[in-house]
Structure 1
Amino acid sequence: MTRRYQPSHSLHHHAEVPESRLVSQIGAAVRHQRELNELNQRQLAERAGVSQAAVARIERGDRSPSLPVLERLLAAMDVQLTIGVEPLDGHLDAALDALVARPVNERIDELGLARMLDALGGLPYVLTGSTASLLQGAPLPVDAVEVAVRWRDSGLLTAWLERAYGQRWNARWAEWGNLRLEPEEPGEHRWRTRYGELWARMCDELPEPVEVRHGGRSYWVEPLARVEVTDPRAADLLRRHRQRLASAG
């Protein structure tokens, strides 16, 4: 069974951003994936053909790995590197400020969250990533409904995707479609459906959720403290938001 790197775990390239920030993000992503695979640093090093000291330096953010080394580390955990872009710092800060000013219920409606969750029906899930952060009041950009789904429920998810006319994101060709829908198949766990875009984090067990309510509706979400562990990109944005609040007094 091959698992590929999901978007909520992608390594994002920031143009003209200090190298230390990228190095720390790479380190956090490697460490996060290693822990998901229940490997220690020595075991990962042996699989990838590097030293344990090198893995430790990369995870601490003390060393920027070459692309071949990074690809070997990720391949040893059955995942692959994906590259994305996002606005420069000033534009990102302006976007966060704009989101702070918008009511949560307005953003929930814009996302089409209720429609997606009603459509998911009996599929067991917990909202996670940026979606969970939004529902807990964090002004993070949300591009899709993000859920955690158990591997043993992957058949239910596949059946639902078929009914919802799902198309899987093909990162190689940067387009939707031409990939099998099943989560077990290679590819990002990202689908476009008739109800909107869905990202899934496949896991052995669902995270312990907390209940939040908006507009008279209950949502079961992964707590922010756990989001910061499981989603490096969301964690980076949450830290940035808190730092800016602290700077503002």
Structure 2
Amino acid sequence: MTENRLARQIATTIRHERDRRELTQQALADLIGLSQGTVAHVERGDRLPSLPMVERLLAALGRQLRIEVEPLDSHLDAALDALAEGSGVERIRVLGLDRMLDALGELPYVLTGSTAALLQGAPLPVDAVEVAVRWRDSPRFTAFLQQAYAQRWNARWEEWGGLRVEPEERGEHRWQTRYGELRARMCDELPEPVEVRHGDRSYPVEPLIRVELTDPHTAELLRRHRQRLAPGPPGTGSAG
């Protein structure tokens, strides 16, 4: 596990537990005598915090730290191994991508994340359609979500529903719709797309180099995929 990945996992855990307790960053900071800026720094995952600081933060949230070990990158290998069967075309069909995009209609979007990687030939796990949508198109996006009977992911209760669907409302930009799961990255301007064609349809997708800069999880999977494709050291091949 790299330092950056561990820092992101700690950041996600602290943020999730703080939200579960319905505390602001300032309130959590006051509980343990830190500044709000320090808590924000930890939750951004910019740098790995010290173990004593993590323990103090978790203790204030009624939690404690538990350490487990696993083979290096095993979580990535498991995700990639799950794709051993099935073509990219079949996975696009199972994802229901075309049905979702048809329902989005004229809403401007660019496909991002693992969806963009899949369309560009990377065999990565994809369990939701991922798009970038401009903030100024939020009213049109909300209208689509309402038409699609969308339910917002409630991270506090770890279930769908109980939150307003509007992107402006607090919460993850993740919805379950009648067309499948949809995740959005709200932005001021759409990323410059490239056109990728599959069959008789073209898709506007974020280039892989940009995906790796904006989506840490997909970047990890792409890195591991390339490592698995790379030839091993001399003497590691199978005997003939």
Fold conserved between structures, TM > 0.5: yes
Q: Distance in 2 between matches of 1:115 and 1:216?
A: 14
Q: Does 1:192 align with 2:170?
A: no
Matched residue type, 2:37: G
The structure-2 alpha-carbon separation of the partners of 1:23 and 1:205, relative to structure 1 and needing over 3 Å to count, comes to same
Deviations 1:27-47 (A, max 9, x none): 999xxxxxxxxxxxxxxxxx9
Greater alpha carbon shift after TM alignment, 92-101 vs 144-153 = 92-101
Q: CA deviation at 1:171?
A: 0.6
2:37 corresponds in structure 1 to: 49
1:205 corresponds in structure 2 to: 189
Q: Distance in 2 between matches of 1:26 and 1:201?
A: 20
Matched residue type, 2:142: T
Larger radius of gyration: 2
Q: Which has the higher contact order (CA 8 A, sep 6+)?
A: 1
Matched residue type, 2:118: L
1:131 corresponds in structure 2 to: 115
Q: Distance in 2 between matches of 1:115 and 1:25?
A: 33
Matched residue type, 1:22: R
Any conservation in 1 of the 2:154–2:162 contact (CA below 8 Å)? yes
Q: CA deviation at 1:161?
A: 0.5
1:112 corresponds in structure 2 to: 96
Once the two structures are superposed, the pairs formed by residues 123-162 of structure 1 within 5 Å of their partners are: 123-162=107-146
Once the two structures are superposed, the pairs formed by residues 1-249 of structure 1 within 5 Å of their partners are: 18=1, 20=3, 22-23=5-6, 25=8, 48-50=36-38, 59=46, 61=47, 63-64=49-50, 66-67=53-54, 89-90=73-74, 92-99=76-83, 101-248=85-232
Q: Distance in 1 between matches of 2:8 and 2:231?
A: 22
Matched residue type, 1:176: W
Deviations 1:13-36 (A, max 9, x none): xxxxx463533546999xxxxxxx
SS, match of residue 83 in structure 2:
helix
The structure-2 alpha-carbon separation of the partners of 1:50 and 1:166, relative to structure 1 and needing over 3 Å to count, comes to closer
Q: CA deviation at 1:97?
A: 3.8
CA RMSD after TM alignment = 3.2
TM-score (norm. length: structure 1): 0.69
Q: CA deviation at 1:145?
A: 0.2
Q: Distance in 1 between matches of 2:100 and 2:126?
A: 14
2:62 corresponds in structure 1 to: none
Any conservation in 1 of the 2:4–2:48 contact (CA below 8 Å)? no
Q: CA deviation at 1:225?
A: 0.2
TM-score (norm. length: structure 2): 0.71
Q: CA deviation at 1:67?
A: 4.3
Q: CA deviation at 1:93?
A: 1.6
SS, match of residue 49 in structure 1:
helix
The structure-2 alpha-carbon separation of the partners of 1:169 and 1:28, relative to structure 1 and needing over 3 Å to count, comes to closer
Any conservation in 1 of the 2:176–2:182 contact (CA below 8 Å)? yes
Q: Distance in 2 between matches of 1:239 and 1:121?
A: 34
SS, match of residue 161 in structure 1:
helix
The structure-2 alpha-carbon separation of the partners of 1:218 and 1:93, relative to structure 1 and needing over 3 Å to count, comes to same
Structure 1 unaligned blocks of 5 or more? 1-17, 30-46, 72-86
